Amino acid sequence: MPKQKSAKAGVASRETEDTITREEPVALTLEDRTALRTFFAGAPFKKALHNARLKQPSVFTGGLDTPLGATIANNRLHEIRGWKLFEAALGTQVEDPKLKPVVAVDDYLRDR
């Protein structure tokens, strides 16, 4: 069976002119954030969140006494961290957007 080229997703090589573009986040309106807040405060979401938290990987894993034990533990910690980051990302969607700071104009040399 001939070897197939493997596609590297998200990586552009130096030989090509390919660029990686990321989608811009869509700003939520006040009505959208209000609807999300009421959804997050509701009983069905709380039950679903509780059930999802029960599906998180356990801190305790087997195979830690093998030569790859440190790698297994590190991978498990990253997996657990990913669950927590996703939950935090959902929570930040209901926050009001940050105001952009006003940039001061450098015109102090104009008077001279």
Domain ranges across the chain: 30-92
pLDDT at 96 over 80: yes
The mean pLDDT of 41-50, rounded to a whole number, is 96
- Mean pLDDT, the chain, rounded, equals 83
pLDDT at 10 over 70: no
pLDDT at 45 over 90: yes
Coil, strand, or helix at residue 84? helix
pLDDT at 6 over 60: no
pLDDT at 44 over 90: yes
Could you tell me if 78 and 59 are in contact, meaning their C-beta atoms sit under 8 angstroms apart? no
pLDDT of residue 64: 87
